[in-house]
Structure 1
Amino acid sequence: MPSAAPAITPIRSERLVLAVDLGTSGCKVALVGMDGSVLAWTFRPVALHLVDELGVEQDPQDWWQAFLDGAQELLAADAQRRRQVVAVCCSTFGECTIPVDRDGNALARAMLWVDMRGADAIRRRARRGRLHIQGYSPLRLARWLRLTGGVPSLSGKDPAGHIAWLYDRQPAVVERSSKFLNALDFMNLRLTGRCCATYDSALTTWATDNRDLSHVHYDEGLLRLLGIERDKLPELVHSTDVLGPLLPAVAHALGLAPDTKVVAGAIDNSAAAIGAGTVRDGQLHLYLGTSSWLGAHMPRKRTHLSAYIASLPCAQRDRYLAMAMQTSAAGNLAFLRDRILFHGDELQVDEQRGDVYPLLDRIAERVPPGARGLLYMPWLLGERTPVDDRHLRAGLFNLSLEHTREDIIRAFLEGVALNTRWMLEPMLAFVGAPRGGAITIVGGGGQSAVWCQMMADVTGMLIQQPQAPIQANALGAAFIAGVGLGELSFQDVPALCRYRQRFEPRPALRSLYDDSFATFKQLHRRLAPLYRRINQHRSPPR
C-alpha cells in the first residue's frame, strides 16, 4: 500500500543550471537549483521521420530549435533567472548517429535508436567463418565483451550499425563527414563549438576499451573490425568535464552571461540514475518511458551474456552502471491510445481530449487485480532483456466474452509490470541487490500511482515514487553540472532527492501474481518459436 514519504523543505539555490532533457518525443528544458529544486520547465515536441521500411530519423536542427525555444521561454520572463544561471548541461537519448562536416553542419538527419537499416551491414562485420555464437564470430564476440562489456546489436539499432550502413550504402556522405556524433555530442557541439563524446555517449559505437575508467579510449583493433576511421570519431571526455563557455552567439540568444559554463552531461540512462538519487552501489532505478530499463551502479565491469545485462561507463568517474533494457513499456499505452481507442477511422465518435492517461489509471484501478484472467504480452517491437528476440510480438491471452476494454486497459498495465519482473530477476542477481528491496521509479510512467502500486505487487519490491518522476533526467543533468563545477559530490545527491509516495507490495496478491508470472514465462517459451517462424521474413513493426 502507498505511504507518504517524509516531507523535505527545499532550500532555494541562488545558482541555477539550465538543464536539457532531449528525448525521442521532444525536448524538455528546466531551471534547476543546485539543491534539486526545479523552478520551471517546458517541453517542445520534435517530429519523427519514417524512411522506407526500417529507417527512423529526426532532424538535429529540430532538436536545437526545440532547445532554443524552450530555453528562451524559461529565461525571457525574468532577468534575475538569467543572472542566476551558471551552467548548461544536457541529458539526451543515446544510440543515434549524425554525420557532420568540418563546420559542424549535419549532412543528413539523425538515425535513431529504433532505426534498423544497418542490420545486414553490422551482421557482416560481426560474423567471420562458419562458427557463430548468437550470430557473432567467437573471437570477435570475446574481444567486444572483454574490452567494451557489450556487443553491437545485430538489429542495427545503435551507432555501430548506423555507421556500418553509412559506409556500405552512403559512401559519399561518409567521404564528406568529419565526425559521427551521438545526440549529446551534437548538442554540446552547438553549445560550445567543441566536438567530443562522453564515455557513455561513445559506448554503443562499440569501439572503446572500457576496462579502466581512468583511461577509456578507442581501440584500434575494434576500429579495424568495424571498419571505422579513427579520425571520424570525436575526442572522449568525462560527463563531469567542463567543455568551456557557451558560444557567444548562443549566450546572446539566451541572454546568458558569456562565461556560462557547459558541462558535458550524459545520455539518458546515466542521467536518470543520478536524478533518481540511486548513486550508491546496488541501488535500483526503473525508467518507465516509451521503453524501459533497470539500472544500478556497481564498482566493476561485468557482462551476463545470456540475460543481456552489462555494466558500462556512466556519469560517475569510478563506477559502472549495470543496465537491463526492454523495448516497449509506456509505448504500449501510446499504442492503445492512438491505434485502438482513438484511431482515426469511421468508428471514431469523439476526438481525443487532453491527457487520457489519468483516465486509463482510473479505469484500471477499478478492475480487479489479474484483469479477470486476461494477460497481455507487451512485445510490440520484440524484446532485448532477458531475451534478445526481434521476432516477438504483443498479444492478449485468454480473452473471453466476460472481458471489456476496462479489463484490456488493466491487462496492458499489468503486462508491462510482468515484463519488468522478468527483467528484474537476473538483474537482482547481477548487481547483488536483495529481493524485496527498493526500486525508485522515474520517467513519465512513474507519475501513475496506480502503475507504481501494480509494480510493487507484481515484483514484490518496494517502489519509491519521486516528487516529479518525469523530471529525473533534467535533475540528473543539473546534479552532473553541480559535480562538474565542484559545488556537489555524487554522494550529496540522495539527500537532495524528494519522494512523493512509497508503495509496498500487498501480501494478499502475491499468489495471484506469482501464477500470472509463471503463465507469462510459459507463454514466451511456447510462442517464441511461432513468432520466429511467422515474422522471420517480415519487416519489423514501427
Structure 2
Amino acid sequence: MITPAGTTAVGVDVGTTGVKAVLLDEAGRVVADAAEEYPARYVEPDGAEQDPEDWWAATARCVNAVLARARVRPADVCGVGISSQAPSVVVVDRAGSPVRPALLWLDRRGRRACEDRADVTGRVLATTGNRLDAYFAAPKLAWLLAAEPAVGQTGAGVLMANGYVVSRLTGVRSCDTGHAGLTLLADLDTGAWSEQLVDLWGIPRGWLPQVEQPTTVVGRVTAEAARATGLLSGTPVVAGLVDGAAASLEAGLVQHGDVCEMTGQSTVVNAAFEASRLRRDELGTMSVLPYPVPGHHLVYGSMVSTGGILRWFRDEFGDRERQLAGLDGDVFAALDELAGTAPLGSRGLVLLPYFLGERSPVWDPAARGALVGLSMASRRADVVRAILEGTAYGLAHNLEELGRLGLAPRVLRSVGGGARGRTWNQIKADVTGLPVETPEDARGAPVGAALVAAAGVGLIDDLAATVRTRQGVVRRVLPDADRHAAYQRYYSVYRELYPALRRTYDALATLRAELAP
C-alpha cells in the first residue's frame, strides 16, 4: 500500500457537456468544487465527436480552481481519480496525441458493424453480459477503422475518456475494469480482454492498454502535468471508473438492490447487483459493468438525452432565463422554477425524450424526440415542464425493467446535476411513486472518483464502509398519492407513443441518411 502524502483527494469527472472537479477531505466531505463546459460536434445522421484537448484543458483549469478555492497546498493531495462519460473513445499515436476527434458514447455510426456480426450476438452476450449495439466501444472502433483507413496507419493505442486524461496526467496508458466492460471486448468474469472478441471486431491487439481495478495506482503526475494542473509532481493517480459507477458511490450503493438515478446529459438508472445472482440471459434491455464494491456488478438502464434536452432548451430558447439569472446565475434553476408554475401534465403535453435516439429500454437509434399535444394554449412553462415529465416517464420505464430482474426499490436515490432541481425531483417522486433522496451536498461522479482515489492510496481503508457512512444527511422528497395516480394516466399515454411512431422514425431515419448535407 502507498502511504498517502496528504489528507485530501481530487476527483474529476470528464462529462459529455463539461468537466467537474472536487476536493474531498479525509472524512469524505467536499471542500471545494469547480466546473467548466465544452462543446460537442454532432455529425448527421449518427455521429457525435469531441476534442480530447478540451477534456484535458478543462481538467487542468478545474483542478487548479479547486486547489485555489480550498486553499490547500499541492502536497496536501494524496491522490487523483478520474471518471468519465462512457464509452467514449479516442485513438492516439505513439506520442499519446489524438489522431482525430474522440467518438462519444452518443455516436452510433457502428450500427452496420453490429449488423454484420449479428450471428454472434449470443457469444458477445455470454462473454460480456451486454448486447450487440453501437453504443459500445468496439463497434465504434470497427466503423472508424473501416471508414478512415488512415487511423489504422497512424494510431498506436485506444483510450477511454478518463484514460486519456489519466495519460495526460501520468504518461501511462490504462483502462479500468468498468470502461473495459463497455467495450464488448472484455470478459465480465475476469475483467481481461477476450482475444476472441478482439479478433471479432478487428481491433489491433497492441492498441489495448492494461486493464486495472479502479483503485489501482497506475502512475504519478508528471512535471509537465503538475505545471498545468497545480498538482505536485509525483502525486499518485488511480485507474478511475465510469461516471455512472462513480455517481453510484456518492449515492451510497453498496449492497444488492440499492438503486439510484444519475441525471446529467443523460439519465442512468443504476442498481448494485450481487455478481453471483446475475443471469446474463435475463438482463433484457439492461446493461452491466464491473462495480468497485467487491462482489457486485452495476446493472443499469441508460437513456441518451434528458438533462441534455434541458440544456438544448436553455441554449435555443432560454434567453429570458439567462437574463434573469445574470452572468453568475443558475439558468437551470430558473428553468426548474419556471416548470413549477405549469400544472401537472403540462396542459396535455407529453414528450418523448429520444432527441439523439434511445438506449434502454427501446434501443432504437432511429428514435427522435416528440412533443405531442401542443395547442394555442401551450406556454413556455408547459414545454419546460413537459421536458421534466417526459424524462421522468423514461426513468419510470427503466425502473419497470429493473423490476423484471426482481429489484423493487423502496426509495430512489438521485445524484448528478439533475438532482438539484426541486420541481424535477418532485416530478420524479410523483411519477415513480417512490421517495426521492438526494445527498445534502450532491456533486455526482467526481465525488465517487475522489473516493476511489482515496481508497487507492490508503487514505480510507474500506471503500464500501466510507460510502455507507457518507449517507448521513439527505434531502427527501415524498410522492403525492393523488398526483401519482394522475401521472399514471399520462404515463400510459407516454408508453403508447413510441410504438405508434416507430414506423415514422424509421422513415425519417432513411430520409436523413439519403438527404443529409
TM-score for the superposition, normalised by structure 2: 0.91
1:60 and 2:17 matched:
no
After superposition, the Cα gap between the structure-2 partners of 1:472 and 1:39, relative to the gap in structure 1 and judged at 3 Å, is: same
2:13 is matched with which residue: 17, 21, 25? 21
Partner of 1:142 in structure 2? 122
Contact 1:342 / 1:352 at 8 angstroms: preserved in 2?
A: no
* Secondary structure at 2:413 match in 1: strand
Once residues 390 and 251 of structure 1 are traced to their aligned partners in structure 2, the CA distance between those partners, rounded to angstroms, is 41
Once residues 480 and 453 of structure 1 are traced to their aligned partners in structure 2, the CA distance between those partners, rounded to angstroms, is 31
1:224 and 2:199 matched:
yes
After superposition, the Cα gap between the structure-2 partners of 1:77 and 1:35, relative to the gap in structure 1 and judged at 3 Å, is: closer
After superposition, the Cα gap between the structure-2 partners of 1:526 and 1:252, relative to the gap in structure 1 and judged at 3 Å, is: closer
After superposition, the Cα gap between the structure-2 partners of 1:257 and 1:94, relative to the gap in structure 1 and judged at 3 Å, is: same
1:483 and 2:455 matched:
yes
Partner of 1:530 in structure 2? 504
Once residues 282 and 503 of structure 2 are traced to their aligned partners in structure 1, the CA distance between those partners, rounded to angstroms, is 21
Partner of 1:440 in structure 2? 413
Q: CA deviation at 1:286?
A: 0.3
Once residues 351 and 481 of structure 1 are traced to their aligned partners in structure 2, the CA distance between those partners, rounded to angstroms, is 39
> Which residue identity does 1:507 align to in structure 2?
A
1:328 and 2:305 matched:
yes
Q: CA deviation at 1:334?
A: 1.9
The one-character-per-residue Cα deviations of 1:469-507 (angstroms, maximum 9, x if unpaired) are 3x1211101111122223231132121135441011111
Once residues 353 and 56 of structure 2 are traced to their aligned partners in structure 1, the CA distance between those partners, rounded to angstroms, is 33
The one-character-per-residue Cα deviations of 1:165-200 (angstroms, maximum 9, x if unpaired) are 222122222122221111111111122222111111
Partner of 2:27 in structure 1? 35
2:259 is matched with which residue: 281, 284, 291? 284
Residues paired across the two proteins, number: 505
The one-character-per-residue Cα deviations of 1:133-171 (angstroms, maximum 9, x if unpaired) are xxx21xx11111111001342xx3432122112221222
2:475 is matched with which residue: 470, 491, 501? 501
> Which residue identity does 1:445 align to in structure 2?
G
| 1:16-165 equivalences in 2 (<5 Å) | 16-51=8-43, 53-76=45-68, 80-124=72-116, 126=117, 136-137=118-119, 140-153=120-133, 156-165=134-143
1:314 and 2:291 matched:
yes
Once residues 334 and 282 of structure 1 are traced to their aligned partners in structure 2, the CA distance between those partners, rounded to angstroms, is 31
Q: CA deviation at 1:227?
A: 1.2
Once residues 61 and 228 of structure 1 are traced to their aligned partners in structure 2, the CA distance between those partners, rounded to angstroms, is 24
Contact 1:277 / 1:494 at 8 angstroms: preserved in 2?
A: yes
Q: CA deviation at 1:268?
A: 0.5
Q: CA deviation at 1:207?
A: 1.0
Contact 2:181 / 2:187 at 8 angstroms: preserved in 1?
A: no
After superposition, the Cα gap between the structure-2 partners of 1:268 and 1:413, relative to the gap in structure 1 and judged at 3 Å, is: same
Once residues 144 and 235 of structure 1 are traced to their aligned partners in structure 2, the CA distance between those partners, rounded to angstroms, is 21
Q: CA deviation at 1:81?
A: 3.3
> Which residue identity does 1:334 align to in structure 2?
R
Q: CA deviation at 1:238?
A: 0.6
| 1:47-446 equivalences in 2 (<5 Å) | 47-51=39-43, 53-76=45-68, 80-124=72-116, 126=117, 136-137=118-119, 140-153=120-133, 156-211=134-189, 215-300=190-275, 301-303=278-280, 307-342=284-319, 353=326, 354-430=329-405, 432-434=406-408, 437-446=410-419
Q: CA deviation at 1:342?
A: 4.2
Unaligned residue ranges in structure 1 (runs of 5+): 1-12, 127-135
* Secondary structure at 1:386 match in 2: coil
Contact 1:20 / 1:91 at 8 angstroms: preserved in 2?
A: yes
Once residues 18 and 371 of structure 2 are traced to their aligned partners in structure 1, the CA distance between those partners, rounded to angstroms, is 31
> Which residue identity does 1:113 align to in structure 2?
W
* Secondary structure at 1:204 match in 2: coil
1:454 is matched with which residue: 427, 435, 439? 427
**Which shifted more, 54-63 or 43-52?**
43-52
* Secondary structure at 1:218 match in 2: coil
* Secondary structure at 2:419 match in 1: helix
After superposition, the Cα gap between the structure-2 partners of 1:45 and 1:375, relative to the gap in structure 1 and judged at 3 Å, is: closer
Q: CA deviation at 1:283?
A: 0.6
Contact 2:108 / 2:365 at 8 angstroms: preserved in 1?
A: no
Contact 1:386 / 1:426 at 8 angstroms: preserved in 2?
A: yes
RMSD: 2.6
Contact 1:275 / 1:477 at 8 angstroms: preserved in 2?
A: no
> Which residue identity does 2:433 align to in structure 1?
G
Contact 2:31 / 2:70 at 8 angstroms: preserved in 1?
A: no
After superposition, the Cα gap between the structure-2 partners of 1:109 and 1:249, relative to the gap in structure 1 and judged at 3 Å, is: same
After superposition, the Cα gap between the structure-2 partners of 1:166 and 1:465, relative to the gap in structure 1 and judged at 3 Å, is: same
**Which shifted more, 370-379 or 265-274?**
370-379
Once residues 351 and 507 of structure 1 are traced to their aligned partners in structure 2, the CA distance between those partners, rounded to angstroms, is 34
After superposition, the Cα gap between the structure-2 partners of 1:117 and 1:37, relative to the gap in structure 1 and judged at 3 Å, is: same
* Secondary structure at 1:206 match in 2: coil
Contact 2:136 / 2:184 at 8 angstroms: preserved in 1?
A: no
Partner of 1:5 in structure 2? none
Taking only the aligned residue pairs, the percentage that are identical comes to 31
**Which shifted more, 38-47 or 290-299?**
38-47
Contact 1:97 / 1:112 at 8 angstroms: preserved in 2?
A: yes
Once residues 153 and 24 of structure 2 are traced to their aligned partners in structure 1, the CA distance between those partners, rounded to angstroms, is 41
After superposition, the Cα gap between the structure-2 partners of 1:462 and 1:169, relative to the gap in structure 1 and judged at 3 Å, is: same
Q: CA deviation at 1:48?
A: 2.4
After superposition, the Cα gap between the structure-2 partners of 1:359 and 1:80, relative to the gap in structure 1 and judged at 3 Å, is: closer
Contact 1:265 / 1:315 at 8 angstroms: preserved in 2?
A: no
After superposition, the Cα gap between the structure-2 partners of 1:500 and 1:317, relative to the gap in structure 1 and judged at 3 Å, is: closer
The one-character-per-residue Cα deviations of 1:292-342 (angstroms, maximum 9, x if unpaired) are 110011112443668410332122342110010011111221222333444
Q: CA deviation at 1:37?
A: 1.1
> Which residue identity does 2:270 align to in structure 1?
G
Q: CA deviation at 1:102?
A: 2.1
* Secondary structure at 2:182 match in 1: helix
Contact 2:274 / 2:297 at 8 angstroms: preserved in 1?
A: yes
